[in-house]
Structure 1
Amino acid sequence: MVVETPRTDSSQDAAVRETLEDYTLRFAPRSYRRWKPGVVATTALGGIAYLADFSIGAGIGLSYGTVNALVAILVAALIIFVTGVPLAYYGARYNIDLDLITRGSGFGYYGSVLTSVIFGSFTFIFFATEGAIMAQGLHAGLGVPLWLGYLITTLIVVPLVIYGMKALSKLQVWTTPLWLLLMVGPIGYLVVVDPDSVSRWLAFAGEEGGGLSAASVMLGAGVALSLMAQIGEQIDYLRFMPPRTEANKRTWWLSTLVAGPGWVVFGAVKQATGAFLAFFIMGAAGAAATEPVQQFMGIYELFMPVWLAIPLAVVLVVLSQVKINVTNAYSGSLTWTNSFTRVTKRYPGRIVFVLANLTVALILMEANMFAFLNSVLSFYANCAIAWVCTVAADILINKFALKLSPKEPEFRRGMLHAVNPVGVTAFLASAIISIAMYFGAFGEAIQPYSPIAAVIIAVVLTPVMAIVTRGRFYLRRTDDGIDEPRFDASGTPVATLYTCDYCAQEFERPDVLASAEPGKIVCSLCVTTDKTGKLVLPAS
């Protein structure tokens, strides 16, 4: 009997060989998910150590006043939390990242490349933002030139990001206690020794002057809503959650909610704190009051000598930026690799996109993007809102209420249509109209309301498009050619192992399907990189 050797091409071989990729293109198998829910949650929350929240809150507070800033932060946090719940649940429950969720939630196999570009842009914009803050800390504390600080902050994360989830989980867990002590301790001290500072801050009217204003609130909320895409980075960790069982369901749900949409609670507190610190030091720091390193140096110097205050502020800034920028670089490399491989059918390796993402971020830092941060974030917010709200609406309304979208997530090539007009139409309409509003195309009176318009358009148009198309463009096939279901009766992904006939590797049930070549099994990696299309099942 002649045994046929499994057939692979170079892209398939590369995808299989790279054992440190942390399942860049696919479902995270149960065999890899060895962490308890609490460890996954702690790792995910370590990624929100960033200090950009302090700058964002400071900018909003100084511009529009404390009351407007607090309401704006609250409005943005509420929207982010509500839309983040279904996304975090799907990531943790089905062990897939946000791009894979997006594919089967209204966008289609290639349609979600649009949103991958949005998310990829998020990662290098915020890497540049956080890197600039770290460079400011090195400059203020150690006299390091900014250009050199930008380079240092870029290169320092490379060794950590290469090793993926295993290294990142250790870094985030070990550094969190020190980070909390350095951040929370001084702020608590300030409130205790100068309680009147809080009342003075609450009365601050900002550069715009006046009281509570809907326009000011919306403008501030627009900046804060730019962080909506952060849920994608949280899901990059949450996809490694263990299966939900009767024994762990309380811990599982708590970890999912806290580390998923719950990140925005911590973010909102940091934004409000940033507004407070900027107000406290604005007399001495001037325009630099929005820089976190100046904020913390100003507080540290209240109760310790300068020679100690400056190094501690630098340690806090560097620690915070390393914790978040390893996440930015990691998540960015995942999304760019995913998109490139789908479009070209070629797998260049995640490390290529780690370096590409860092190069773009370095260019943005050297161009002093931090100086016009709020303008960049306000524009970007409309795109992020359109994407996240469209996917959230598809899950909550189309899947569970209208039942026009399949509840079980699908991401494999051949099972999905190339483009689903439901999500793509809602996303493009939401983004284009809200961006036009932001630039004043419909008049100055409604210009501040572009973020809310993005939310409303996405949430309304997503179910409307599903009804109009009757859900016909979600699945290209309903049967993947394998008898065993992908999910058990409780909805948990099945862990049965199947051997791919093309790369000879074992994959769990959600990650395989029948090949178009009779009698063979193909994994999602090999079908993704199949340039001929001969392995793709026909439509049914």
Structure 2
Amino acid sequence: MSVEVRTEPDVADVQSDASIATKESLEDYTLRFAPRSYRTWGPGVVATSALGGIAYLADFSIGANIAMTHGTVNGLIGIAVAAGIIFLTGFPLAYYAARYNLDLDLITRGAGFGYHGSVITNVIFATFTFILFALEGAIMAQGLYLGLGIPHWLGYLISTVMIFPLVIYGMKILAKLQVATTPVWLVLMVVPVIYLVVSHPESVEAFFTYSGESGSGVSFASAMLAAGVCLSLIAQIAEQIDYLRFMPPRTEKNRRTWWAATILGGPGWVLFGATKQILGMFLAVYLVSTVPGARAVANEPVQQFLVTFQQLMPAWLALVLAVVLVVISQVKINVTNAYSGSLAWTNAFTRVTRRYPGRLVFLAVNLSISLVLMEANMFDVLNGILSFYANLAMSWICVVAADIAINKHLLKLSPKRPEFRRGMLYDWNPVGIVSMGLSGGISIAIYFGAFGAAAQPFSPLFAVGIALVATPLMAVITQGRYYLRRTDDGIDLPMYDEDGNPSSKTLRCCVTGMDFERPDMIASAKPGPDGEKQYLSSLALATDRTGEHVLPKE
């Protein structure tokens, strides 16, 4: 396949952008389908890497705040409701990511939003990554202050700067980091809590009878307020998917392990998250009940584990291990936050401008925003931020989940197999955009009291309900007309192999001169110098500012 030499400045720029983007993204497949040649990890390694990203200790702070505000029973109900919703909505997304090797942005494009429409959801997700990064960085700074006396402002800076070099090289380094640190993290987190329960059985009774600030009993409104805080973490599935897209092909031989890894590393993250929230509730109640004046710091994980470790060992060793646990946990999650956030920002910017500035540029942007939030002491308003954000995150995730489960598989109005390539999709699809606008807009209005105080605690449930109803309704109204701009991508080779996995056959890209696997390729609208058909990668097409390669609408 020959490469045509062009002298127009715009075309040269396009080739340069495409080549730079392609070479840089070979390590993490930014904006792209993850090819089979790169996916050399087994299902277990991928799942372990994905679960390594949920080592964050914000769950302990969330659980502590819930317990102290709403009481134990209301908190447990809220956590259970949130976990159920997160698992059910996360399952179809995780399956599509693992089966078709796409990140959530690529899935969102063909699941009701369109090629440009998913830029909106990219910004929502990028916001999630820097909010969570800031929360986790603040927790690390608390540990550094307690253990080493480092001022909080300097701790925020250290917890931000140390992440940058760990994220530069993408999935290969992240997988090794997550697998290597997970056993130590599990031992430090689980063993002391078990010992505390066994050695102080009275703490369990105190936990279940704790009624929080209100001092009242079971309240459905309080439980739903607690659920709203937990549901803000629904966007975590997008970070799980950034790992799950590297799952190996599913075959008859690995079918069981493939499904187990997909479920555990995908929606299964919430089982671990909910457990950590409950542990955070338990440790906070224990601190408040046994340590005078502990209420002010009971939502700080380093304080929770310091007191727990002190039941087992000398105070100096307890302090060392508490700080070590905090640092390991925060590094594990914040490399994921930084990695996923940089992908989201880069993806959105490239589609809007047709330019690829490099993922490291947006890695720096994401970390800078996080640092500003930390210095602004956002940890003190944790519950309020997460409760508000939950409405946006749930609207997006639930719309995509509804499109996959209902529109694709039940109504069959949405293409069953995902599509993400420019030219194959309409730029904007009203199914997802209108549904998310209704779900997010109405639930936020409810959150701020526009429909009365009685409805206010239930805004996240309204976000779920509206998304699940509006998404299929919009598909029926539009009859699925705005999903596919084309059904033929101009390539005769089959897209999938005999097992239904994306094909590993390769084609030469006429822009970069490199070979790419079949699912990442599309025919060019411009023939070669001898009139032959040319092909180019989805990433090269994304940076085509001239539009000369985009296939016409069918």
TM-score > 0.5, shorter chain as reference: yes
Tell me the CA shift for residue 260 of structure 1. 0.1
TM-score after normalising by structure 2:
0.96
Give the distance between the partners of 1:280 and 1:179, measured in 2 at CA. Answer: 22
Tell me the CA shift for residue 112 of structure 1. 0.4
The corresponding residue for 1:531 is 545
On the 8 A contact 2:15/2:511 being kept in 1, the answer is: no
The corresponding residue for 1:230 is 236
Tell me the CA shift for residue 298 of structure 1. 1.0
Matches within 5 A, 1:78-117: 78-117=84-123
Deviation readout 1:256-279 (Å, 9 max, x if unpaired) = 000000000000000000000000
The corresponding residue for 1:63 is 69
Give the distance between the partners of 1:188 and 1:58, measured in 2 at CA. Answer: 18
Q: Which amino acid aligns with 1:443?
A: G
The corresponding residue for 1:51 is 57
Tell me the C-alpha RMSD between the 2 structures: 1.1
On the 8 A contact 2:3/2:510 being kept in 1, the answer is: no
In structure 2, runs of 5+ residues without a counterpart are 7-11, 528-532
Give the distance between the partners of 2:432 and 2:5, measured in 1 at CA. Answer: 41
* Gap change, CA 1:21 and 1:355, over 3 Å in 2: farther
Tell me the CA shift for residue 293 of structure 1. 0.5
Q: Tell me, what secondary structure is at the counterpart of 1:401? A: coil
On the 8 A contact 2:27/2:172 being kept in 1, the answer is: no
Tell me the CA shift for residue 296 of structure 1. 0.4
On the 8 A contact 2:82/2:230 being kept in 1, the answer is: yes
Pair 1:141-2:147 in alignment: yes
Give the distance between the partners of 1:175 and 1:449, measured in 2 at CA. Answer: 39
The corresponding residue for 2:530 is none
User: Quick check: 20-29 or 211-220, which moved more?
Assistant: 20-29
* Gap change, CA 1:3 and 1:433, over 3 Å in 2: closer
User: Quick check: 504-513 or 298-307, which moved more?
Assistant: 298-307
The corresponding residue for 2:379 is 370
Give the distance between the partners of 1:16 and 1:121, measured in 2 at CA. Answer: 26
Give the distance between the partners of 2:348 and 2:383, measured in 1 at CA. Answer: 28
Give the distance between the partners of 2:22 and 2:181, measured in 1 at CA. Answer: 32
Pair 1:297-2:306 in alignment: yes
Give the distance between the partners of 1:485 and 1:474, measured in 2 at CA. Answer: 21
In structure 1, runs of 5+ residues without a counterpart are none
Pair 1:357-2:369 in alignment: no
Give the distance between the partners of 1:140 and 1:463, measured in 2 at CA. Answer: 52
Pair 1:521-2:535 in alignment: yes
On the 8 A contact 2:130/2:367 being kept in 1, the answer is: yes
Give the distance between the partners of 1:140 and 1:181, measured in 2 at CA. Answer: 21
Tell me the CA shift for residue 20 of structure 1. 5.1
Give the distance between the partners of 2:461 and 2:508, measured in 1 at CA. Answer: 48
The corresponding residue for 1:467 is 476
TM-score after normalising by structure 1:
0.99
Give the distance between the partners of 2:89 and 2:160, measured in 1 at CA. Answer: 31
On the 8 A contact 2:34/2:246 being kept in 1, the answer is: yes
The corresponding residue for 1:11 is 17
Tell me the CA shift for residue 302 of structure 1. 1.8
Pair 1:479-2:485 in alignment: no
Alignment coverage as a number of residue pairs: 539
Pair 1:399-2:405 in alignment: no
Give the distance between the partners of 1:16 and 1:84, measured in 2 at CA. Answer: 30
On the 8 A contact 1:61/1:275 being kept in 2, the answer is: yes
Pair 1:339-2:348 in alignment: yes
On the 8 A contact 2:86/2:270 being kept in 1, the answer is: yes
Q: Tell me, what secondary structure is at the counterpart of 2:409? A: helix
The corresponding residue for 1:221 is 227
Q: Which amino acid aligns with 1:316?
A: L
Tell me the CA shift for residue 498 of structure 1. 0.2
Matches within 5 A, 1:252-291: 252-282=258-288, 283-284=291-292, 285-291=294-300
Tell me the CA shift for residue 301 of structure 1. 1.3
User: Quick check: 278-287 or 458-467, which moved more?
Assistant: 278-287
What stretches of structure 1 move > 3 A for 4+ residues in a row?
2-8
Q: Tell me, what secondary structure is at the counterpart of 1:413? A: coil
Q: Tell me, what secondary structure is at the counterpart of 1:507? A: strand
Matches within 5 A, 1:16-35: 16-19=22-25, 21-35=27-41
Give the distance between the partners of 1:424 and 1:446, measured in 2 at CA. Answer: 25
On the 8 A contact 2:64/2:283 being kept in 1, the answer is: yes
Match of 2:124 among 109, 118, 138: 118
Q: Tell me, what secondary structure is at the counterpart of 1:290? A: coil
The corresponding residue for 2:201 is 195
Give the distance between the partners of 2:214 and 2:107, measured in 1 at CA. Answer: 42
Tell me the CA shift for residue 209 of structure 1. 1.7
On the 8 A contact 1:20/1:163 being kept in 2, the answer is: no
On the 8 A contact 1:20/1:162 being kept in 2, the answer is: no
Tell me the CA shift for residue 21 of structure 1. 4.1
On the 8 A contact 1:20/1:164 being kept in 2, the answer is: no
Give the distance between the partners of 1:97 and 1:200, measured in 2 at CA. Answer: 44
